[in-house]
Amino acid sequence: MCPAIILGVFFLARRNAGYSRGWREAAPRTGDSRLVWRTSCPVALQMMFETGAFSGAAVLVGWLGAVPLAAYQIIVVVGMLGFCVYYSIGSAIAVKVSQASATGPEPWRGMRHMAWAGYHIMLVFMVVASVVFWFFGADIMSIFTDDAAVLALASSLIFPLVLYQLGDATQVTFANALRGTAHVMPMLAIAFVSYIAVGLPSTYLLCFTAGLGLWGVVLSFSVSLFLAAALLLFFFLRATRRIVLN
């Protein structure tokens, strides 16, 4: 249903008439395809590394046993409730930053304004998600299972779940802001360093070496997400500074 609805809105909605007409009438150009590939490939690999870190953590949790693995699955799905909201806002940020790059005598200023405006909205939803997780997390988790051991373990993870929400919201904001600038190559290195080179070892160290078990696994998400957030913010500011210098 999802692609059918998207195609219907794109081709049938009156406000999109100019875009759909351009899509039908424009001839494909090899240069455009190469540009799209160069822009999309680093973004795709960035997403692969990010999801790979969570999948790799699941493998490590599997070493702990069935109950921790079940609790981990619950906490990840619950956390996705926040991530999906963040990502929808992030998509809008990417669009508005991209639009700002083509308007005004100082496009870099508008790009930064759009990114920070989006971040303010993101923080509001981050606080809402954190409040929901903190006060209603156990109730949401009880929908998944009635196993007392799994629920007790999953409920004990609410604090590290809430802790990484700020890092998650921030990295989503500035990952999408950076996409809006089209300077996406740094995202590949940022994702590899944050989620693979630092994130997975942190998961292992906190889980097994520090003896924190599943609590340490979820806590390690804060390490990778906050690192990614800081690096993405740095490269977004650098990309917009480069635009003004050019």
CA distance 185 to 131: 35
pLDDT at 201: 97
**pLDDT at residue 32 above 90?**
no
DSSP 105: S
* pLDDT at position 38: 86
Whether residue 39 lies inside any domain: the answer is no
pLDDT for the residue numbered 244: 56
Mean pLDDT of 44-58: 93
Quickly tell me which residue has 């929808």 as its tokens: 88
Q: Judge whether 171 lies within some domain.
A: yes
What gap in Å lies between CA 169 and CA 79, rounded to an integer?
12
Contact 115, 92 (CB under 8 A): no
Check: CB of residue 160 under 8 Å from CB of residue 215: yes
Which residue in the block uniquely carries the two structure tokens 């059918």? 4
Which domain covers residue 170, as residue numbers? 45-245
Decide if 20 is inside a domain: no
User: Mean pLDDT for the chain?
Assistant: 93
Residue 153 within a domain: yes
Give the per-residue pLDDT at 87. Answer: 95
Q: Is residue 163 part of a domain?
A: yes
Indicate yes or no: pTM above 0.85.
Answer: yes
pLDDT (0 to 100) of residue 106: 77
User: Which pLDDT does position 153 carry in this prediction?
Assistant: 97
Domain count, the chain: 1
CB contact set of 120 (below 8 Å; sequence gap of 6+): none
Q: Is residue 32 part of a domain?
A: no
